[in-house]
Amino acid sequence: MLRTAFLGVREMSPDEGASWGAASAPTIRDVIARQAVFNPGKLPIHDLMLHAWMATFGQSLAAERSLSALLGTISIAIVYFVARELFAESALASEGIDAQLPASISALFFAVNLVMIKYAREARMYPVMLAAILLQVGFFLRALRVGGLLNFAALAIFTALGVGANFSALLVPATEGIWLLYLLGRARFSFVALHGRRTWRSALALAVGGSIVAPKLVSAFGKTAANTPGGIIRWIKPAAWYEPVALFNKATGTFAFPIFAILAAWGVYIGWRRGIREPIAFALLLMWAPPLMMVVVSYTLTPIFVERYALASFTPFFILAALGAVEIARPASWGAVALCVLLALGHVWNYERKPHDAQYREAVAAALNSLHPGESMTVVPVYAIEVLHYYLPDNDEARAIRFDPANSRASVIIIGDQNLRREEAQQIRLEYPDVIARFRGVVVRKKLSSP
């Protein structure tokens, strides 16, 4: 319910416009071609899924976003699967605790978290990436635990799907690589012991999955890097040193975060004392390694620290918090769970009280009404052009053209306040000094020279 509520209320965002622009192409070949332009740095997995979804359910915003809502709902069950695999052979059983209990609470915490709900309501690739990479983690743990050709094959497939859906998912296999090095070192890199064979085969499965998408990622890095001219993530700012901690605070809410953090710390402490050390160590690694890697890359190569790039890291946080809740004596345990859920829902409620979209639909209507015959409109940021195409009538789509700062032929411009540099905004205001209308998140301006 939380993921399907208000799907059609918010207006299309520029990012969603890029996904719609690719997915609305008439043929699969056209979808793939457009995706390379509108959403570089990834494979067209989501756009092809959305293309088929819209062919069945239509192109309304609610219909487009319902695909993400469905995947977000399925991910709740996947979190349960991951937690069950994590604790499957731990010392919990000897303490009389069924692994189903912390797994169920983990899924509950995931279900009511604002970040997971928010991205499950967007017509973007992140729910695809998250579902695939969480399945990848689950099969990674299962392959290490029981082996089996199907588990190794699933690990390779979901590695490729997760990383292919968005290059940022590579942080998870990289983290797993660190864990495999630890396991291999502990086994003295032996292939003889059963656990050694499973570890080597898991490493091979990761390599196979990664090799499928590696050529695309290497070629796309230059198009996405924040410190390159024209890079599509050039808006990302360098990360502060405290960002990894702030990431979890912002995601869970100011009031909920301390409770989740205390429960997670208690889960780590008491679980370590009871011998559940490897599951806890892996959970901590999966929780902290991806955001720390983003900080390192941000300072050495290009800024990439963005909340949605570390979505998989929230799952181990919820799992550790669930373990901490389980390890509290009843009935205080259920009280802690109820408090976490209530505070998380309060975070969602507080978020819903305010609008979080820009009124592009109203801006497009105002811009269209101000145009004379033969005139055209444009928009900044440039990648929001597909939002104009979405809201314009079919016979007027050609009147929306891409913004060219060197030779702007458009008579009217719609200015969004997303990631627009001050110098660029000042130059645009000089060229388009006449304000036609102001809406939430956007301003419509016109050239004085227009008749």
Q: Which pLDDT value is given to residue 95? A: 56
- Residue 113: its H or E element: none
Question: Tens digits of per-residue pLDDT, 231-275?
Answer: 455 556 777 778 888 899 988 888 999 999 999 999 999 989 888
177's tokens: 């690589």
Distance between CA atoms of residues 124 and 65, nearest Å: 8
Question: Tens digits of per-residue pLDDT, 1-14?
Answer: 789 988 989 999 99
Q: Which pLDDT value is given to residue 96? A: 52
The predicted model scores a pTM of 0.91
In the numeric block, the tokens 């997303």 are attached to 418
Distance between CA atoms of residues 43 and 161, nearest Å: 9
Q: Which pLDDT value is given to residue 313? A: 95
Dihedral of alpha carbons 176, 179, 185, 191, sign: negative
350's tokens: 């507080």
Low-confidence residues of the chain, pLDDT below 50? 225-231, 450-451
CB 406 within 8 A of CB 374: no
Q: Which pLDDT value is given to residue 229? A: 39
